[in-house]
Amino acid sequence: MNNLYLILEDGTVFTGKPFGYKADVTAEVVFTTGMTGYLETLTDPSYRGQIVVQTFPLIGNYGVIPGDFESAKIHASGYVVKEWCAAPSNFRSEGDISALLKRKKIPGLYGIDTRALTKIIREHGVMNGRIASDPKSVDLDEIKAYRVENSVAGASVKKAYAVKPDKVLYKTALLDFGLKENIVRELVKRGCAVTVFPHDTKPEEILSRKFDGIMLSNGPGDPADNAGVIENLKKLAASGTPIFGICLGHQLLALSAGFKTGKLKYGHRGANQPVKDLATGRVYITSQNHGYAVLSDTIDPRIGTEAFRNVNDGTCEGVDYKGVPVFSAQFHPEGCGGPQDTGFLFDRFVENMKKGIEN
C-alpha cells in the first residue's frame, strides 16, 4: 500500500497510510477529543472545510450506524486517525468506517502519531494542512492561503421543511446554519412542531407565522462572515419571541446585540469540556465543537450577562439577555455521543414558549 501524507502549513510532514476515498485535499486541521461519537463528528456540519484529527487512538470499533448521523453528508474535508477498525462489532452496524468515507468521497489517513500532531496544533494554534499522495508537489503558500468560504450557506438547507410530533404543543422555527439533527429530535421530543428554515430567511416571514419560539442552530465558520443573518437576528430578538441559540447561533445572536467574537487558538472540540454555571456555581461536562467564542469583555451588561464560562480557559459559554426571553449556549446540550447533562436548556426554552402562550 502506498503512503499518504499530511503536510502542515509550516512544512511539517506526517507519513501514514490511506483509507476511505483516494483524493488530495486542503483544509483547516483541527482535533477532537471524543472517545466515542465519531459518526456524529463526521456528519456534523460544523466541521465543514476542516480535516478532523481524532485524538482517541482507535476509531470505528462500533462501525457505521446511520441512525446516529447528524446529517446526511460528511462535512469534514478529510479524516485522520491513529488506527481504524476494519472489523467493527455492534448489532446496529451496517459497515466499516473506511467504506463510509469511500462512499462519501472523503479521504482518510491513518498510522501517524496523532498525539504529536495534536501537540503541534495546541502549541502553535490551528493550522491549515493538506492530505496528499506526493508531498513534493505541495505548495505551502497555497496551503497557508486556504480559507473556508460561504460555509453557512453551503451547510444550510435550501428549502424549508417541517417535522412534527404525534401531539403538537408548540410551534417552533429553527434557523439552519448547519444544524445537527439531534436539535430537531430534542425539540420534537418535547412536543414541538419544528419548521426548519434556510439560514437567510427574512425575519418578516418567520414572524408572520406566529411561532411560539425560535431556535438558532450550530454551524461552521467565522460568525462575523454572516452580516445578513446578524441583521435579521436583530429584528427577531426585538420581537419578544422566545429564542434559544446554540454554538454558532449563540455567536450570531451575540454579534446582533453588538458584542464581539474572536478566534480561539485551537478551539474546543470533544465531549469533555467543563463549563461553569455562573448563577449556581455548578460545573457541567459538555460536548463542544467551535473555533470562535464570544468575547466576555464585550458583553454590555445593560443588554445581557454571561451565564456560563469554560473552566479550562475562562471563555464565554453562554449569555442571558435582559428584558427578553432570549438566551444562548456555546456548548451542545443536544450532544450525542457525549454528555447530555445540559439538556435542561431545552426545557427552559419550552418553558419560555409556554409562558409566552399563557401571556
pLDDT band at residue 181 using 50, 70 and 90 as cut-offs: very high
CB 49 within 8 A of CB 27: yes
Q: Is the pTM of this model over 0.85?
A: yes
CB 58 within 8 A of CB 83: yes
Mean pLDDT of 171-180: 97
In the listed set 144, 166, 199, which residue is the last one of a domain according to the structure? 144
Residues 338 and 250 in one domain: yes
Is the pLDDT reported for residue 256 higher than 70? yes
In the listed set 144, 179, 199, which residue is the last one of a domain according to the structure? 144
Query: Percent of the chain scored above 70 by pLDDT?
Result: 99
Task: Kindly state the helix (H) or strand (E) to which residue 4 belongs, with its residue range.
Answer: strand 4-8
Residues 140 and 19 in one domain: yes
Residues 138 and 161 in one domain: no
Choose between 334 and 293: higher pLDDT. Answer: 293
- Summarised one tens digit per residue, pLDDT across range 301-350 is 999 999 999 999 999 999 999 999 999 999 999 877 777 889 999 999 99
Q: Is 250 helix (H, G, I), strand (E, B) or coil?
A: helix
| C-alpha to C-alpha distance for 292 and 226, rounded to whole angstroms | 14
| C-alpha to C-alpha distance for 36 and 268, rounded to whole angstroms | 16
Residues 292 and 334 in one domain: yes
| Among 30, 26, 86, CA closest to 58 | 86
Residues 38 and 61 in one domain: yes
Residues 8 and 26 in one domain: yes
Mean pLDDT, all residues of the chain: 95
Residues 253 and 168 in one domain: yes
CATH number of residue 100's parent domain = 3.50.30.20
Residues 261 and 233 in one domain: yes
Residues 89 and 9 in one domain: yes
- Summarised one tens digit per residue, pLDDT across range 19-37 is 999 999 999 999 999 888 9
Residues 14 and 107 in one domain: yes
Give the per-residue pLDDT at 329. 98
- Summarised one tens digit per residue, pLDDT across range 40-50 is 999 999 999 99
Mean pLDDT of 78-82: 98
Give the per-residue pLDDT at 150. 86
| C-alpha to C-alpha distance for 315 and 1, rounded to whole angstroms | 44
CA atoms within 13 A on the CB side of 324: 24
CATH number of residue 279's parent domain = 3.40.50.880
Give the per-residue pLDDT at 1. 65
- Summarised one tens digit per residue, pLDDT across range 111-127 is 999 999 999 999 999 89
Is the pLDDT reported for residue 276 higher than 80? yes
Strand partners, 51: 29, 78
Residues 208 and 302 in one domain: yes
Is the pLDDT reported for residue 175 higher than 80? yes
Mean pLDDT of 70-91: 95
Q: Residue 345: which residues within 8 A CB-CB, separation 6 or more?
A: 244, 327, 329, 333
| C-alpha to C-alpha distance for 177 and 253, rounded to whole angstroms | 12
| C-alpha to C-alpha distance for 188 and 7, rounded to whole angstroms | 44
Strand partners, 18: 109
Residues 251 and 189 in one domain: yes
Q: Is 97 helix (H, G, I), strand (E, B) or coil?
A: helix
> Of all residues in the chain, what percent are helix, strand and coil, respectively (each to 5)?
25, 30, 40
In the listed set 85, 115, 144, which residue is the last one of a domain according to the structure? 144
pLDDT band at residue 55 using 50, 70 and 90 as cut-offs: very high
Strand partners, 128: 28
The total number of structural domains that make up the chain: 2
Catalytic residue list: 247, 332, 334
Residue 313: domain span: 151-358
Give the per-residue pLDDT at 225. 95
Mean pLDDT of 100-116: 97
